[in-house]
Amino acid sequence: MARQSKRERITKETKISLELNLDGNRDISITTQIPFFDHMLTLFAFHGGLDLKIEAIGDLPVDDHHTVEDVGILLGEAILEALGNKKGIQRYGLSYLPMDEALARAVIDISNRPFLHYKATFERTSIGGLSLENVLEFMRAFSMESRISLHIEVLYGNNDHHKVESLFKALGRALREAVLIQGNDVNSTKGVL
């Protein structure tokens, strides 16, 4: 069964199309008009072992917030759809990811009970068009719409680029582990996720 999703989101603030394959070959094409965000999403998809195509046009003269949040919303929806009934998935994922002096941890439970614990501090306000305060907005939208319990934090680091990069890579690797097929049953005593 193909674990794929194709979605679109059009609002007065953004127009986004997205294609996702959880069992991909790392066929990745990201264009959000926010260079550093494109880079982070590419790293997320690569380390998640995903095929991911995103084309986003947003009201960037206003701010990058709407684009970043709406990409998080659409990506979360796509993951939820691609997971289907969640039969056989490992469900849990964990990644500690170093990026030079920075270390991030991402822990996932594909539980159908969305929750976000996020802890990261930055010295800079933005990198490459991405307002660093919007990293939280992306993670929140992603976890709520995918209905994933996500605990993600930068444990330490000095360079803000390294800290953000370690977060996105850790998220990708934890997701890759959590969506692995390990059997035929739903990984819950309730029989449903």
Question: Tens of pLDDT along 133-165?
Answer: 999 999 999 999 999 999 999 999 999 999 999
Give domain status of residue 191, yes or no.
Answer: no
- The structural domain count of the chain equals 1
Give the three-state DSSP class for 171.
helix
Percent over 70 (pLDDT), the chain: 99
Give domain status of residue 187, yes or no.
Answer: no
pLDDT at 190: 81
Residue 165, domain CATH: 3.30.230.40
Give domain status of residue 190, yes or no.
Answer: no
pTM: 0.96
Provide the domain limits for residue 172: 4-178
Helix axes 65-83, 133-146, angle to 10 degrees: 30
Give domain status of residue 60, yes or no.
Answer: yes
Give domain status of residue 16, yes or no.
Answer: yes
Give domain status of residue 63, yes or no.
Answer: yes
Give domain status of residue 173, yes or no.
Answer: yes
Strand-pair category, 4-10 with 14-21: antiparallel
What band does 188 get if pLDDT is binned at 50, 70 and 90? confident
How far apart are alpha carbons 178 and 88 in whole angstroms? 10
How far apart are alpha carbons 86 and 95 in whole angstroms? 21
Q: Is 8 exposed, middle or buried (0-12, 13-18, 19+ CB in 10 A)?
A: exposed
Give domain status of residue 101, yes or no.
Answer: yes
